[in-house]
A and B are shown apart, each in its own frame.
Chain A
Amino acid sequence: MGLETVNFAYLSELIGTPVVSAQTNKRIGRVIDLAAVSSHVFPKISGVLVRPARNGTPVYLPWAAFRRSDFTHRFIADREPSALGTEKGVEGEILLRRSFLDKQLISTTGYKLVRVNDLQLLIDNSPKDNANFFLVHIDIGFKGLLRRLGWLRPVNAVFRWIVSRDMKDQFLSWKYIQPTTTTTVLGSLRLTTDASKLSEIHPADIADILEDLGTDERKSLLESLEPSTAASTMQEMPLNIRVQVAETLDTDKLAQIIQAMQRDESVDLLVELASDVRTALYNALPAETVAELKELTNLSTFGVGSIMNTEFVSVPKGLRAGEVLDRIRAEAGRVELIYYVYVVDADDRLCGIASLRSILASPPETPLDDIMRENCVSVSVDDRIKDVAPIFLKYNFEAVPVVDEQNRILGIVSLRDTLESVFPKLREDFKA
C-alpha cells in the first residue's frame, strides 16, 4: 500500500453521514452504524446500517453496494430507495458502534479495562472499485472524548496556542484489545466472545479485570476461556465474587470449570453455592466426580477434609527408584503436589513416604524400601485444621497424608492450603 492510498477516519465522523442514492442523487438516509467481520488481524467493514429518511427502522446495506466517495461527507449507494430493507447481514458480523463505542474493553498489554471514546478506521484506497475500511485503533484518550463532544477544534486550537503542539492521541491497537461484548447485526444471534487474546495474561490479572466488569461481560468472557484458564482465574477471585460469578454461569460450563479446579477449591465453592445450582451441577458432572465432591463437601464441615487434595502420587510396594520416577513423570501433569511419593500396600494402606528429592538422589535400581521412611506422620479427615497446622511447623513438611481409620490414604493436605485456612482473613485481604 502506498502512502497516498491510505488514510484514516473516525467512527464518530462517519456516524450521521448522509447516504445518497447513486441513481437519483437524492438522500436516502443516514449512517447509524458500521458492521464488520473479523479478517486476519483487523476487522474489515462489511456493511452499513442506515436509518432511512422516511421510515425510522434501520436497514442493512452490504459494503459492496457503496461506491468510492469522500466518506466523511457522504456515502454513495447503488440502491434505489425502494430496494432498502431487502438485504440481510452476514453471519458473524458485529456492529461497531453498538458493541464498542462507550463500552469497556480489556487492554491485553496494560492488563486493565479501558473505556472506548472513539474508533479509528484505516481506509485502504488501493482496490479499484471501492476503498476498504479496517478497524485498527481504539481511541481511549481525552482527544477522542472532545471529538465526540464536538469540542476538539476549539480546545486543540487553545492547546496549540499555549504549548505550540497538537494534543496527543491515545490509541490502542486492535491487536492488543480483548472485546468484552459483541452485538451482532441482526441482534438475535449471540456470538460467543473470542477470548483468545486473554490467554496470554496471568489468571490473577484476568481475575482483577473481571472483578471490575459487569455481570454479562464476566459471564461471556469466563465461558469463552479454556476451562483450565477459567478455573485458575476463578481461584484468584475472592470467595464471594467467585460464588456470585459461578451462579451466573451456564451449568455445563461451570461443570467443566469445576472439574478443572483443584479439588479443595471446588469444594470451597460448592459449599457456598445455592442448593439448586449445586444440584444442577451434580447432574452435569460425571458420577465419579460427584461422588468425590459429595464426600469432600460433607467432610468439609468437620476439618481437614475441606482442604484435602485427592490428587497425589502413590505407588505399590516393591518398586525401584527408576520405576518410581517413571510413575511420577506419568502423573506429574495431573497432580498438583509431587514433593512426596506415598507407598501403599495391596489394600491401599499407607506404609511409607519417600520424598522426590530422595528418589532423585538414589541410583535407579535402588529398591524403594531402602529410600522410604516407614514411620510416617499422617492425619485423619476429622482432625481440625488448626490442630494439623502445628505438624507442618514441627516436621517441616510440604504436605501431610490424610488417612481413614484403616490407615488407607485418602488424600493429602498441603502446607499452603493449611496456612490459608488457618489465616482465612489473610488470604481474603490479600486477594481483595
Chain B
Amino acid sequence: MSFLKRLRQRPLLRNLFVFFSIVGPGIITGSVDNDAGGITTYSVAGAIYGYRLLWTLIPSFIALLAVQEMNARMGIVTGKGLADLIRENFGVKVTFYIFIFLLVADIGNTATEFAGVAGSMMVLGISKYASVPVVAVVVWILVVKGNYKISEKVFLVFSVFLLSYVVSAVLAKPDWGAIGQSLVKPDIEWNQEYVYTVLGLVGTTVAPWMQFYMQSSVIEKGIKIGDYKFTVYDVVLGCIATIVVAFFIVVSCAATLHVNGVHIDEAKDAAMALRPLAGAIASQVFAFGLLIASVFSAAILPLATAFYVCEAFGFEAGIDKKFAEAPQFYSLFTIIIVIAVTIILLPNAPLITITIGTQVLNAILLPVVLICMMIIVNKKEIMEDYTNSKLQNFIGWTTSIVLIVLSALLLLTGGLS
C-alpha cells in the first residue's frame, strides 16, 4: 500500500499507473468491432477486390477515432450513457424508434456472432449443434454470474488473440509492393457492388451499438476529466488495433483467395479456402481468430444491447446488480442470446439474408445515431467547455454525411436493381 503510494508520487510512474487503470474501454470496443460480421466483410472484400479496397481502412480509422473520442468525452463530461442523453434531449419518440431498430439489428448481429462460432468450430471439426449451445451457456454464465472486472480482463486477453490474423496473413506470403501501391494510389470504381463493399467495410468498422458500449464502459471506469488524455490514448490504441487486425484479414484473403479467384460468402469459407492455398496452420489460425472474435462479441453485444435499452427506458441495468434488482436487464440479455442461438440452430436458417438485413439496418441507423451525437456534443449546456472543436466538427459531420450519402446510394441502387 505505502509502497504503491510512494511509487505514485513520481510523475512518470503515476502517469503509467493512471493509464493502466483507465485502459480497457477503447481497446475492448475496438476488438469487439472486429467481430464475426467484420471478419466476414473483410474476408469477402479481400477475396473479391484483392488489395484494392485497403485504402478504405484509412478513412475508416479516422471516422472510428473521431466517433469514439466523442463518445469517451461525452461519457466523462456528462457521466451519462448515450441512450440516456438521446432520451433526455430528443424525447421518447426518437428514442423509441432508434431502439426498436437497434434491438432488431443487434439480435441479427448476435446471430451473426453465433454463426461465426458455428463456422469456425466446423473448420476445427466440431458440429454447430455442440459448439453453439456450449458457447452460449459459457457466455451467459460469464456475464450473469461473473464479475465485471474479471470479464474485462478475460476480454483484454481475448483481444490479444486477435493478432493471430497477423500470423495468418504472413503465412499467406502477400505481395507487399502491391499493398503499398493500393494504399497510396486508391483506385475507385462507381458501381453498385463496389459501393456496397465500401459501405460494408466502413459500416462494420463504425457500428451504431459500439458507440453506446464505448460510452457506458468509460462511465463504468469512473474516469475524471483531468485524466481525459489517457482515455484518448486508450481510444487511439483501440482504433489502431481494430484497423491493424482488419488490414491483415483483408491481406490474408487477398494474397490467397483473390489471387486464385476463389469466391466466398462467409468468414468460415475463407478459413476453409486457406487450407489448400496457405496450409492447414494458416487455415486453423484464421478459424481460431474467428472463434475468439465471435465468442467475444457474442458476450458483449447482447450485454450492451440489454444495457442501453434499459437505460433509455428507465429500468435498472448493470451486471453488478442482482437478477431481482434488474429483471428486465437480465431477461433482455437472455432473450437476445436465445433468439440468436435459435436462428443459428434452425436447419435451413437464411444466414446470408440475416447478415445483409442486419448490415442494411446498421447502415440506416448509424447516421441517425451520429447526428444525435453531433447535436448533443455541440450543446454547451451539456458539454460545457468540452464541446467539439472545429476540426472535430468537420470530421464528425463529414463522416456522417459520407455515410448518409453512401447508405442512400446503396438503398436506392439496391431498390432499382
Contact = CB atoms under 8 A, between A and B. Distances in A.
Interface of A: 101-104, 112-117, 140, 145, 148-149, 212-218, 238, 240-241, 243-244, 247, 271, 274, 300-303, 306, 384-386, 421, 424, 429, 432
A361 B224 CA distance: 52
Nearest to B221: A240
A301 B314 contact: no
Given A216-B79, A424-B1, 5 more contacts: A104-B314, A240-B21, A244-B222, A300-B5, A386-B1
A216 B78 contact: yes
Given A115-B313, A274-B226, A432 B320 contact: yes
A116 B96 CA distance: 14
Nearest to B382: A216
B91 interface: yes
B390 interface: no
B275 interface: no
Contact of A114 (B148, B314, B320): B314
A247 B5 contact: no
B91 A102 contact: yes
B54 to A, nearest CB: 41
A429 B225 CA distance: 24
A39 B320 CA distance: 39
B2 interface: yes
A244 B88 contact: no
A386 B92 CA distance: 54
Nearest to A218: B79
B66 to A, nearest CB: 23
Given A117-B314, A214-B84, A421 B1 contact: yes
A112 B316 CA distance: 8
B245 to A, nearest CB: 30
B92 A145 contact: yes
Interface in B39-81: 77-80
30 contacts: A102-B87, A102-B95, A103-B88, A104-B84, A104-B314, A112-B316, A115-B313, A117-B314, A148-B91, A148-B93, A149-B92, A149-B93, A149-B96, A214-B80, A214-B84, A215-B78, A216-B79, A240-B222, A243-B224, A244-B222, A247-B225, A247-B226, A301-B5, A301-B9, A302-B2, A306-B2, A306-B5, A385-B1, A385-B2, A424-B1
Interface in B1-21: 1-2, 5-6, 9, 21
Nearest to A183: B381
Contacts of B148: 432
Chain B interface mostly:
helix
A102 B92 contact: yes
Interface string B88-129: 100111011000000000000000000000000000000000
B223 interface: yes
A384 B224 contact: no
B55 to A, nearest CB: 40
Pick from B6, B93, B222 the residue with the most CB of A within 10 Å: B222
Nearest to A242: B222
Nearest to B90: A102
A24 to B, nearest CB: 32
Contacts of B9: 301
A238 B222 contact: yes
Contacts of A102: 87-88, 91-92, 95
A115 B87 contact: yes
Nearest to B91: A102
A143 to B, nearest CB: 13
Given A117-B314, A148-B92, A214-B78, A301 B6 contact: yes
Interface in B192-248: 221-226
A98 to B, nearest CB: 10
Interface centre among A274, A301, A421 (most CB of B within 10 A): A301
Contacts of A115: 87, 312-314
B10 to A, nearest CB: 12
Given A112-B316, A115-B313, A384 B2 contact: yes
A101 B93 CA distance: 12
Given A243-B224, A301-B9, A303-B2, A145 B77 contact: no
Contacts of A302: 2
Contacts of A101: 91
Nearest to A115: B314
A301 B96 CA distance: 52
Nearest to A140: B314
Interface in B141-173: 147-149
B92 to A, nearest CB: 4
Most-contacted residue by chain B among A103, A213, A244, A424 (CB, 10 A): A244
B120 to A, nearest CB: 34
A247 B224 contact: yes
Most A C-beta atoms less than 10 A away, residue of B1, B77, B79, B149:
B79
Contacts of B88: 102-103
Top 3 closest pairs, chain A to chain B, by CB? A115-B314, A215-B79, A214-B80
Contacts of B95: 102
B124 to A, nearest CB: 37
Contacts of A303: 2
* Most A C-beta atoms less than 10 A away, residue of B77, B226, B320: B226
A271 B1 CA distance: 13
B405 to A, nearest CB: 30
A271 B5 contact: yes
A386 B223 CA distance: 29
Contacts of A306: 1-2, 5
A101 B21 CA distance: 36
Contact of A215 (B2, B77, B221, B318): B77
A238 B223 CA distance: 12
Nearest to A97: B91
Contacts of A217: 79
Nearest to B223: A244
Interface string B383-414: 00000000000000000000000000000000
Contacts of A421: 1
Nearest to B310: A115
A217 B85 CA distance: 13
Query: Residue among A148, A214, A241 with the most chain B CB within 10 A?
Result: A214
A213 B79 contact: yes
Interface in B292-318: 312-314, 316, 318
A424 B149 CA distance: 15
Contacts of A300: 2, 5
Contacts of B92: 102, 117, 145, 148-149
Contacts of B21: 240
Contacts of A104: 84, 314
A421 B3 CA distance: 13
A115 B99 CA distance: 16
B316 A214 contact: no
Contacts of B226: 247, 274
A113 B224 contact: no
Nearest to A307: B1
Contacts of A214: 78-80, 84
A68 B52 CA distance: 72
A240 B230 CA distance: 15
A421 B224 CA distance: 24
A419 to B, nearest CB: 13
B316 A113 contact: yes
Contacts of B96: 145, 149
